[in-house]
Structure 1
Amino acid sequence: MFVTNKILNRLDDKKITDYGQKISVDDKKINVSIHGNGQETIVLLPGFGTAAPALDFTPLVNELKAYYKVVVVEPLGYGLSDLPTSERSTKNIVSEIHETLQKLDITSYTLMGHSIAGIYGLDYSRTYPDEVTAFVGIDTSFPTQSVDPFPASSYKLLRDLGVFRLLLKPDSLMAPDVDSKTKEQIRLISLKNTMNA
């Protein structure tokens, strides 16, 4: 099962369709997807373990893009962005996102974060208060939240053995109003990104 999973992972990489644009930050590429032409900008940040944020946010982006410019940032390790080599600290993640937006000449925006991005969003808003016009949390984490230890090593073992490949079905990954092609792309990127650094 392990060997079959490794072979299928390499074959799956060729099936992933490119989307967005790559922004260089600290010798790495961060993938960004931009939609809509509104005068106000919303920057969407993903929750913990969201494999393909730009695709996962499709229903929300479709609702917002008629009124706003919507920018989905896929931090290092997410979506089609490069894997990180630097420590995954709030400070580093916030700095990388900020540098990405600066390179896109985006200097005034509403920050909208899901889950763990609530922690990043709070720090980001404090660090760059002249740029962030508002923060919107989508079921966000918060600093005093109690969290059980995450069994990362167990999940990595399941990934490497190919168990996730058996369990991940496209229809279980998205809302029903997302087309089957997008669901399949999310499945492929999930298999690629699950439990990376």
Structure 2
Amino acid sequence: MGVVKVIKVKKKFRFWKVIKTILLATVAVVIIWVIYSNIMAVYEQRKYPAIGELVEVNGKNMHIYTKGQGDNTIVLLSGLATPAPALDFEPLINELSKTNKVVVVEPFGYGWSDLTDKERTVENIVEETRAALKKSNIKGPYILMPHSISGIYSLYYANNYSEEVKAIIGIDPTLPQMSEYFGDDVFPTMPKYTEYMAPIGIARLLAYVTPDNILPLSEKGTYTEVNLKMAKSIVAAK
């Protein structure tokens, strides 16, 4: 009986030793990945500088990209979960800029724009967009071309600054009265936890493992290879 008991104790000890080893190895891998992800974020920030102009708004940098010339100035406004609007809109920009001046203002937290602690209200977002346009000396009136949630911003813009808006052309825009038909879920929000995904490396992991979910049409030739690399680096960093 004594021998059997000793054998059981040894097996139990080995079991917990294996569990401990696995846990320590997992923690080590996670720490290494977080360090690697943050180092890569710094490296890619230097490798892929802003493709447009950085202007100061409320003490932070906002990225504004402009292409083309024409009688109309089209301001493209992105949806909620568009990591890098200037890159995401590239195919549309290339077509519209043949006969128009096309502008993309990347809100704080998107693309090459800085992060901000300022509340993301409709009023703040519109005022920041207006400030960026003025700082870049891009004169109106503008044709606002909003996608998704930016439909709300565009209506607020037009209602409060009608002299600055020539027209609104929506790209599947969100509109205020849509909630009457589809409920409040029609107005998207970003979960709080998403702001921690980049610092701890989860965003980079998702960009590597499931690029099609992060970068739609990544394998259909819609975007250039350079565009996709820049977009992936921004997804991983923000």
Unpaired stretches in structure 2, ≥5 consecutive residues? 1-28
Which residue is equivalent to 1:107? 140
Which residue is equivalent to 1:54? 86
Q: TM-score, normalised by structure 2?
A: 0.74
Larger radius of gyration: 2
Which residue is equivalent to 1:41? 73
Q: Distance in 1 between matches of 2:77 and 2:134?
A: 16
Structural mapping, 1:59-138, within 5 Å:
59-105=91-137, 106-138=139-171
Structural mapping, 1:8-47, within 5 Å:
8-16=37-45, 17-18=48-49, 19-47=51-79
Q: Which has the higher contact order (CA 8 A, sep 6+)?
A: 1
Q: Distance in 2 between matches of 1:127 and 1:151?
A: 26
- After TM superposition, give the deviation of residue 160 of structure 1 in Å: 5.2
Contact 1:158–1:164 under 8 Å retained in 2: yes
Aligned residues: 193
- After TM superposition, give the deviation of residue 12 of structure 1 in Å: 2.6
Unpaired stretches in structure 1, ≥5 consecutive residues? none
User: 1:164 is aligned with what amino acid?
Assistant: A
Contact 2:86–2:106 under 8 Å retained in 1: yes
Q: Kindly tell me: are residues 33 and 192 of structure 1, through their superposed partners in 2, closer, same or farther at Cα, counting changes over 3 Å?
A: same
Q: TM-score, normalised by structure 1?
A: 0.88
Q: Distance in 1 between matches of 2:190 and 2:163?
A: 38
The share of aligned pairs that are identical, in percent, is: 38
Which residue is equivalent to 1:147? 185
Query: Which one of the candidate residues 220, 223, 226 is aligned to 1:181?
Result: 226
Report the structure, 1 or 2, having the larger helix content: 2
The alignment status of 1:164 with 2:203, answered yes or no, reads yes
